[in-house]
Structure 1
Amino acid sequence: MLYYLFQYLDKLDVPGAGMFQYVTFRASLAAIISLLFSVIVGARIIRALQKNQIGETIRNLDLEGQYSKRGTPTMGGVIIIVSILVAILLMGKLENIYIIIMIISTVWLGALGFADDYIKVLKREKEGLKGKIKVVAQVGLGLIVGLIMYMSPDIVSRENTEVRVNNVIEQVQYKGQDVKTTKTTIPFVKNNNFDYRWLVSWMGDFADVAVWVVFVLAVILIVTAVSNSANLTDGLDGLASGSSAVIGVALGVLAYVSGRVDFASYLNIMYIPGSDELMVFAAAFVGATVGFLWYNAYPAQVFMGDTGSLTLGGIIGVFAVLIHKELLLPILCGVFFVEALSVILQVSYFKYTKKKTGVGKRVFKMTPLHHHFQKAGNAGIDALIQKPLVPITEPKLVSRFWLIGMILAVIAVATLKMR
């Protein structure tokens, strides 16, 4: 909203009003607003949660310090969601299609997570929403995002083409016309554009339609997978919020360079007109998660609950798809995916060994993976991997995961030149 106010003031030649035309300036303000809002208003929301006895129910996992968290306010993800929305409504171009999609995604998944937490905490039904309902809602969002990308005339790109002299790239050029595309960026590959059309090229005349069906299905899979992976990662104080903040910084950089033809040309990547506005959303996202971390860092004063974790993961998934960088997610969200993979391996191996021998065995001492490191080795748990034998304290474990996330974020951004 302030963007439009200062746009009007700029026409009246008010000094300084033109600063709001710059994405970087508005992104900086969005980060500050969301950070301050989450810290200041967050304290009041936490007090309200405490007053209404909206506290976390702790399962007996036999972990150090586990019961000290009992009764800690949950549903704190509301702080993140409201902070993002306030900042983006003030600083964003609200007619930008990318911003519209991100607002829809934030509200959609926030409502889903809130409903799940509401049933768990206030109705005392520990299972919360049924898994099928969650998946249907996530699939629904992926379907909406995919269809908007297919139908909206504002979501277009220009493919990068190389001009070579003696097999040396002299310059990168872009076609003069914006086009719809199902291409995306592949990390570590020289000609780094992958077209989903390749998967349906055998369909001949039907390929033009089939490729968008494949693309929409891919969007559904990505949104669902990243959202649930973030949800599984939310098990230690500050782990999911800190990791998401790191990912948000990287996504903001990727959005900015993709939306600037000069940077896109230098990096030899697709130019996506209008996507630089997503940097404002990414800044609001980072500010909100860092502000929430003020209260969520060890020892946590509030937990985000599914309200926060499902929303954070969904935002990251949708954001990556919009800037055609979804194939970077296994690197960028490496912490999330390893956590989810540990659960899949654990369940699969347990079922397999139980079917074969009648006794289920484990790969890890406990999953998600962060709990594996909290358990002592050779302590009566039949698991293939027993190390570390000495449990790692929660603050140190979270810090190490953050560091790994930072390294992966740097690698993800660096892949734009590492080919």
Structure 2
Amino acid sequence: MLYHLLYPLADEINVLNLFRYITFRTGGAILTAMVLSFVIGQPLIDWLRAKQGKGQPIREDGPEGHLTKRGTPTMGGFLILLGIGTGTLLWADLSNRYVWVVLLVTFGFGLIGFYDDYLKVTKQNPKGVPGKLKLVLQVVIAGVAAVWINQIAAAPLNTSLAVPFLKDVLLNLGWFMMPFAAFVIIGASNAVNLTDGLDGLAIVPVMIAAASFGLICYLVGNTVFANYLQIHNVAGAGELAVFCGALVGAGIGFLWFNAPPAMVFMGDTGSLSLGGALGTVSVIVKHELVLAIIGGLFVLETVSVMVQVASFKLTGKRVFRMAPLHHHYEKKGWKEPTIVIRFWIVAVILALVGLSTLKLR
């Protein structure tokens, strides 16, 4: 909005020429989302606590230490979404269709998460929305986004999968690219959702991934940098750096209230939307496989659940003391802050490995 209002006046007021630069507007989005989160965070938490009463229901079969978290309000994802929406709408070029695709998925998945959280809170049942219904809703939104991206992107990128570490290599998937893109979006959404189990555990890796993809968006969208790094240039993708910046800023503000001991949980309102956003950005910039590296922590958490379920069904035995993986370490006696910080360290390492693919070609 500010870009459209102020940049046309740059000929008369030189300082407004700053709005042409994505880096400047990304910084503005970060600060806007962060300050907004700090300002409205406490009033929103107080309101959620008053409305929810008992807060998010705690699993009886979960780690014993979680029982002390009874009464903590959920749906803190509202705070993140408000920061993302405000930062993006104020600072992004709203004529860029990629921006609207990512916002569609972010807020669409946020609505699914809100419905899930609402059922959990009102019925005091940790199950929420039935799994099949949740999946159907995700497929619809991700499918629309995949088709939209296919229409926006230029050939051959719209039907192709880029391979990390290999320059000029595109695997043409044809029409299958759209269901694959939807799978990436849904998979990322649910992977972040599974990771969100401890105070501060999910939001920091999400911010790390968002910052990494903000850089990737900027480089991929810039013809000069893309040619230098020998990565595929996606016209218009650079504007998504503003969105990623807003996500980082909103995440910092949310972490202030979600740091152990958490005053609020993001709930599915936050986790589903944030994961979906990361998946959508990765599809647009043709770094879907790199997301599996940068977001490797989310992949590990998801795989731990899949392995646990498969092992129990096939052999009747469990590989982990409890899944997802962070609960396994809780059962082993690790303190919650220890698990959270060590998982943050893993997320940083994986992000650095993922970013190295930009140069190692």
TM norm structure 1: 0.83
The match for 1:307 among 266, 269, 289 is 269
8 Å CA contact retained: 1:120, 1:128 = yes
Task: Output the CA distance in 1 between the equivalents of 2:300 and 2:63.
Answer: 21
- Residue 321 of structure 1 and its aligned partner are, at CA, apart by 0.1
Which runs of structure 1 show a deviation greater than 3 angstroms over 4 or more consecutive aligned residues?
Answer: 123-126
Contact 1:142 1:216 in 2 (8 A): no
- The alignment status of 1:26 with 2:25, answered yes or no, reads yes
User: Residue 94 of structure 1 corresponds to which residue in structure 2?
Assistant: 94
Q: Match of 1:73, SS?
A: coil
Q: CA deviation at 1:145?
A: 1.4
Aligned to 2:147, the other structure's residue is in SS state helix
Larger helix percent: 2
Q: Distance in 2 between matches of 1:82 and 1:111?
A: 13
The residue that corresponds to 2:171 in the other structure is 195
- Counterpart selection for 2:329 from 351, 369, 373: 373
Q: How far has the Cα of 1:63 moved from its partner? A: 2.8
Q: Is the 8 Å Cα contact of residues 183 and 193 (structure 1) preserved in structure 2? A: no
Q: Which residue identity lines up with residue 272 of structure 1 in the other structure? A: V
Give the distance between the partners of 1:62 and 1:262, measured in 2 at CA. Answer: 51
CA shift at 1:192, angstroms?
Answer: 5.0
Pairing of 1:98-109 with structure 2 (within 5 A): 98-109=98-109
Deviation at 1:64, TM superposition (A): 5.0
Query: What is the DSSP-based 3-state SS (H/G/I as helix, E as strand, rest coil) of the residue aligned with 1:65?
Result: helix
Query: 2:227, 2:14 → 1: CA distance?
Result: 33
How far apart in 2 are the matches of 1:128 and 1:79? Answer: 21
Q: Does 1:269 align with 2:244?
A: no
Specify the code of the residue in structure 2 equivalent to 1:219: A
Counterpart AA for 2:85: L
Q: Give the secondary-structure state (helix, strand or coil) at the position aligned to 1:56.
A: coil
Cα displacement (A) at 1:288: 0.8
Of 237, 247, 260, 1:298 maps to 260
**SS of alignment partner, residue 195 of structure 1:** strand
Deviations 1:273-317 (Å, cap 9, x if unpaired)? 111100000000111111101101111000001100101110010
Q: 2 CA distance for matches of 1:122 and 1:237?
A: 22
Q: Determine the C-alpha separation between the residues in 1 that align with 2:356 and 2:340.
A: 24
Alignment of 1:330-409 (within 5 A): 330-353=292-315, 360-376=316-332, 391-409=333-351
Distance 1:73 1:62 in 2: 18
Take 1:62 and 1:216, find their aligned partners in 2: how far apart are those partners? 37
Code of the aligned partner of 2:225? F
Residue 148 of structure 2: aligned partner:
148
C-alpha distance in structure 2 between counterparts of 1:156 and 1:277, whole Å: 16
- The superposition leaves residues 342-363 of structure 1 with CA deviations (integer Å, 9 ceiling, x where unpaired) of 000001010001xxxxxx2100
Give the letter aligned to residue 315 of structure 1: A
SS in 2 for 1:321: helix
Q: Which amino acid in structure 1 is aligned with residue 2 of structure 2? A: L
Tell me if structure 2 keeps the 8 A contact 1:84–1:284.
yes
1:259 and 1:272 in contact (8 A); partners too: yes
1:138 alignment counterpart: 138
Q: Could you tell me which amino acid in structure 1 is paired with residue 80 of structure 2? A: I
Q: What 5-or-longer segments of structure 1 have no aligned partner?
A: 158-178, 198-210, 354-359, 377-390
* Structure 2 SS opposite 1:245: helix
Deviation larger for 256-265 or 60-69: 60-69
> Residue 233 of structure 1 corresponds to which residue in structure 2?
195
Matched residues in 1 for 2:5 and 2:149: separation? 29
Matched to 2:165, the amino acid is F
Q: Could you tell me whether the CA contact under 8 Å between 2:221 and 2:238 is conserved in 1? A: yes
Query: Structure 1 residues 5, 270: CA separation in 2 closer, same or farther (over 3 Å shift)?
Result: same
TM-score normalised by length of structure 2: 0.96
Aligned partners of 2:150 and 2:159 also within 8 Å = no
- Name which of 316, 320, 326 aligns with 2:288: 326
Q: What one-letter code is carried by the residue in structure 2 that aligns with 1:156? A: A
**Post-superposition shift, 1:42?**
1.4
1:404-415 to 2 correspondence within 5 Å?
Answer: 404-415=346-357
Native 8 Å contact 2:33 2:84 kept in 1: yes
1:299–1:144 distance in 2 versus 1, CA, 3 Å: same
Q: How many residues are treated as equivalent by the alignment?
A: 360
Question: Kindly, what percent of the aligned residue pairs are identical?
Answer: 41
Aligned counterparts, 1:43-192, within 5 A: 43-54=42-53, 55-61=55-61, 63=63, 65-152=65-152, 155-156=153-154, 181-189=158-166, 191-192=167-168
